[in-house]
Amino acid sequence: MNETRSSARISQGQGSLSRERECPQRLELLIVDPDAQRSLQLVRELSSCLPLSAVERSNGREALASVTRTRFDAVIVRQRLGDIDCWRWIRMVRSGRFGPASTPVFVLCLEPERVVLEPMLDMHTRLLIEDDPCAMQAWLGERLWRGRSVLLIEEDAHCAMPLLIALHKHYRVEAAASGEEGLRLWRERAHDLVLLDLDLPRVAPGELLRQMLNERPAQTVVVFGSCDSVEVYCDLMLSGAADFLAKPIDPRALPAFCARALTQQAYLGNVKRSVAMEGAVDGLVRRVRAAQYTLERGQTANAARHLRQAVIESRARSLSDDTWAVLLDDGER
């Protein structure tokens, strides 16, 4: 009975926060593009489906001055900003010396460039495919309205409410007062981050963590509890937790802690993708070299077989034109 009342209190409070978060607002965007006509066209396309106010800048210096003076909901940039490339510009923004370091930045690119550029992203930077305007509008609108999602699984409503209030300014938050409810919400919503209380009744410490990671190995889960022993910490980290927090939790520090956890997980994911892509390129280089070797010896059928397999594998892995150029160059050596 007490658990039911606690769940109701959390749900009621969390619901009011969600309604406040979802109220429509006019989005303040900064668009950085050396081509003024192209920038204007982008503003028209986005304005057709999103309520927004856009500021246009033609180079990195002007854009940096703008983010210093004004807080934007998001910045959309080209990879070349005239006086600087976007990646160095983004690093300057992330330093926090020119305004909010967590300002969302969307980098426009072509579909073949995605695989090459993904390892360069941080938690607040995303790619937008510019040759698909409908998908770009839908994806940009979803990310700006929704933000990163956090699920808080905490049985005590008095402990949960200050954390929800602190988080809702930066994330879309939901709360659950039991392991069963938390697991159900997580399966329905696929939250970016889960904050998991280890002191839940009728749930063994770490059991819910292991269940989530078995179903979704890349899930970011931060666990917290009243026990701060080294043994418990080691066991949880070895089980796959992104980090551990000891109670009581400081609500003021929690948003930044969550941002670090998500950033670290994103970096790990990028590293894994880069390693996998490197292995894929090595395999394709061997195919191309084998085709060249057999072709030089007049074995055209075998050469065709190797090249056909290389093409099939490249399509399955969505290799960019630049990556193909690299492996073909290696094959000629």
Q: Give the start-to-end residue ranges of the domains of the chain.
A: 25-146, 148-252, 266-331
Whether 319 shows a pLDDT value over 50: the answer reads: no
192-206 pLDDT per residue, tens: 899 999 888 887 768
- pLDDT band of 215, cuts 50, 70, 90: very high
Whether 232 shows a pLDDT value over 80: the answer reads: no
Determine the Cα angle at 260 with ends 255 and 263, to 5°: 125
CATH class of the 148-252 domain in this structure: alpha beta
pLDDT score, position 226: 79
Residue with tokens 């020119």, as numbered in its chain: 98
pLDDT score, position 271: 58
| Segment of 15-29, 243-257, 265-279, 302-316 carrying the highest mean pLDDT | 243-257
Within 8 A by CB and 6+ apart from 326, the residues are 281
Composition of the chain by helix, strand, coil, percent to 5: 55, 15, 25
Three-state secondary structure call for residue 192 = coil
pLDDT score, position 264: 75
Whether 87 shows a pLDDT value over 90: the answer reads: yes
Of 284 and 187, the one with more pLDDT: 187
49-86 pLDDT per residue, tens: 677 789 999 999 999 999 999 988 889 999 999 999 99
Residue 23, sorted as left (phi over 0), alpha (psi -120 to 50) or beta, turns out to be beta
| Segment of 15-19, 209-213, 267-271, 294-298 carrying the highest mean pLDDT | 209-213
pLDDT score, position 19: 38
pLDDT score, position 1: 46
Residue with tokens 């993904």, as numbered in its chain: 118
pLDDT score, position 24: 39
pLDDT score, position 206: 81
- Gap between the Cα atoms of 212 and 191, Å rounded: 11
122-169 pLDDT per residue, tens: 878 888 888 776 666 666 665 555 567 899 999 888 999 999 998 887
Of 141 and 118, the one with more pLDDT: 118
Q: What is the mean pLDDT of residues 178-189?
A: 91
pLDDT score, position 118: 87
Dihedral pair phi/psi, residue 84, rounded to 5°: -165, 155
Average pLDDT for the chain:
78
Whether 45 shows a pLDDT value over 50: the answer reads: yes
CB-side neighbour CA atoms (13 Å) of 171: 27
Three-state secondary structure call for residue 298 = coil
- Gap between the Cα atoms of 39 and 181, Å rounded: 46
Q: Are 277 and 255 in contact (CB under 8 A)?
A: no
Q: What percentage of the chain has pLDDT greater than the value 90?
A: 28
Q: How many CB atoms lie within 10 A of CB 168?
A: 19
Residue with tokens 């965007």, as numbered in its chain: 29
Cα 114 versus chain centre, distance: 14
Q: Which residue blocks in 70-132 are alpha helix, DSSP H?
A: 86-94, 114-117
Residue with tokens 């931060």, as numbered in its chain: 222
Q: What percentage of the chain has pLDDT greater than the value 70?
A: 67
Is the four-CA dihedral 316, 320, 321, 327 of positive or negative sign? Answer: negative
CATH numeric code, 25-146: 3.40.50.2300
Looking at this protein, which amino acid is placed at residue 168? H
pLDDT score, position 78: 95
Fold match flag (25-146 vs 148-252): yes
pLDDT score, position 4: 47
Among 154-163, 215-224, 226-235, name the one with the lowest average pLDDT.
226-235
1-10 pLDDT per residue, tens: 444 444 545 5
Pairing of strands 220-225, 193-197: parallel
Within 8 A by CB and 6+ apart from 296, the residues are none
Whether 91 shows a pLDDT value over 70: the answer reads: yes
